[in-house]
Amino acid sequence: MKTLIIGGVAGGASVAARLRRLDEQAEIIILERGEYISFANCGLPYYIGDIITKKEYLVLQTPQSFDARFRVEVRVFSEAIAIDPDKKTVTVKNLRTNESYEETYDKLVLSPGAEPIRPAYIPADSNRIFTLRNIPDTYKIKDYVTNNQSKSAIVIGGGYIGLEMIENLRRIGLDVTLLQRSNQVLRSTLDYDMACLMHKELKKQGVHLYFNQEVTAVEQQGSIICVHTAAGQTYCADLLILAIGVAPESSLARQAGLQISEKGCIQVDAHLRTSNADIYALGDAIEVTHFVSGLKAHIPLAGPANRQGRIVADNIASLDSVYKGTQGTAILKCFEQTAAGTGLTEYAAKAAGFDYEKVYVFPMSHASYYPNACEISMKVIFTKDTGRILGAQLFGKDGVDKRCDVLATAIRANMTVYDLVHLELCYAPPFSSAKDPVNIAGLAAENILTGKVDIFHYDTIADLDTEQVTLLDVRTVKEYNKSHIPGFINIPLDSLRDNLDKLDKSKTIYVTCLAGLRSYIGCRILMQNGFQCKSLCGGYELYCNVNS
């Protein structure tokens, strides 16, 4: 059996390594148009920021080491330029000699990845405009910044690559401006209310943020590059990083007559076979099924690509292995903070037609009395009927990764928010609290679903009629006097029972506190004394995050 693999980074290399472990006699060839295989794609921005200090750390395998370990023939600088599915051949161009030849296969694997989007308004001849997708891109940016003593940069696009580049360019001293077409960063992982926390951190670190900026033109003016927007603004800097997003590299598959989605992704079945039974595809180029919504999606992430590589190899080796969908679990370091998400955002849950509710909690990363405890901002989205967990988003300085991983596992297991209450997670004061943040999120959601409290959200406050309802802040007098939501009166929680006569039972009482705990307790008091009551989910803290 001869297997030909096009693309030698995460997915392609995973196929080759797994297939060799399953079949010592298989003939395996990797075609890679670049110089490097199996490199640390996700580590590239950190080389630019001098966190990863040696070039060799970026290269996980060389063609020589891969062949020595797995007896896989790796041909670098070899670009597949055409596929003939009927003859089962691939036309390969040797980029060193410009000569072409045909290579046969029994099974073909497409792992071409994705290409950075480069709009038509970007000049092709400027040496000050960069994308970041591979090791040569990394060296170009690093060398340019160093050799030209660059002082400033513009980044277009606030996705993962854009944000990682912003942090690392700031780390080496550049003044950085972000231009974002939408009203927030990281829309694929965070809703606007959670993205606001990241905006705050970026501003704290000196990043200039400009949202709702549609770029219309880019031009080089002498020693600087200038970006023009539809709003008539112009921003200039020493260099420009394009991080607008990526598009699946499916041109070869399209030429071969394989089925392609409307968004340009290679379509595959659960076994990761294309519309041709002898051709498989995986990684950033394919369309996947979202594990939570069941809808088709393009989710280019390294973790899924590696798992897909294993599944493709299994099927080539006649093992029945299926891919069970991608749920989009991802994490990002943002200077001193961490953002993470899994499953559906609220945007995506709404688009998929779910009848959902959401809860916000702000627990500490570990016991508050143990030194260096940090707040974790958490948002969990769940169905109103069964409490099935649809998605979660987290932001904080410490402990974000492990809580997101627990929630990702819960989603994969089709667990509900009720199940989160009963999870037995590690506890000792340096690591957590007796009620872990995941437990707290479950408890808060359970209170909502079981009717122990009714909630309202920050984006409905402006519509409340103070003639018809009572707005109540149960924080301390000191907290209230420092700052409060307009229209809310103050009765501190600890004196609420003694002041019930000051409240009108004919009006629903909308209660807030700092983060939602005291307003919940206040509502329990009020409800058991004959009042109609709603608690502000996420409290004044969330309101301020969104409205600051």
Catalytic residues: 42
What DSSP character marks residue 191?
Answer: -
Six token digits for residue 274: 């294309």
Residue type at position 322? V
In angstroms, the CA 377 to CA 265 distance is: 35
Distance between CA atoms of 15 and 281, rounded to whole angstroms? 10
- Tell me how far apart the alpha carbons of residues 173 and 177 are, in angstroms, rounded to a whole number: 13
Cβ pair 240, 129 in contact under 8 A: yes
Q: Alpha-carbon distance 264 to 248, whole Å?
A: 6
Strand order in the sheet with 224-229: 215-221, 224-229, 234-237
H helices, E strands: number in the chain: 15, 32
Confirm if 502 and 520 have CB atoms less than 8 A apart. no
C-alpha distance from residue 179 to each of 211, 215, 272, 301, 458 (Å) = 6, 8, 37, 23, 27
Amino acid at 459: D
3-class DSSP assignment, residue 408: helix
How many Cα neighbours within 13 Å face the side chain of 499? 13
Record the tokens describing residue 116, joined without a space: 């950075």
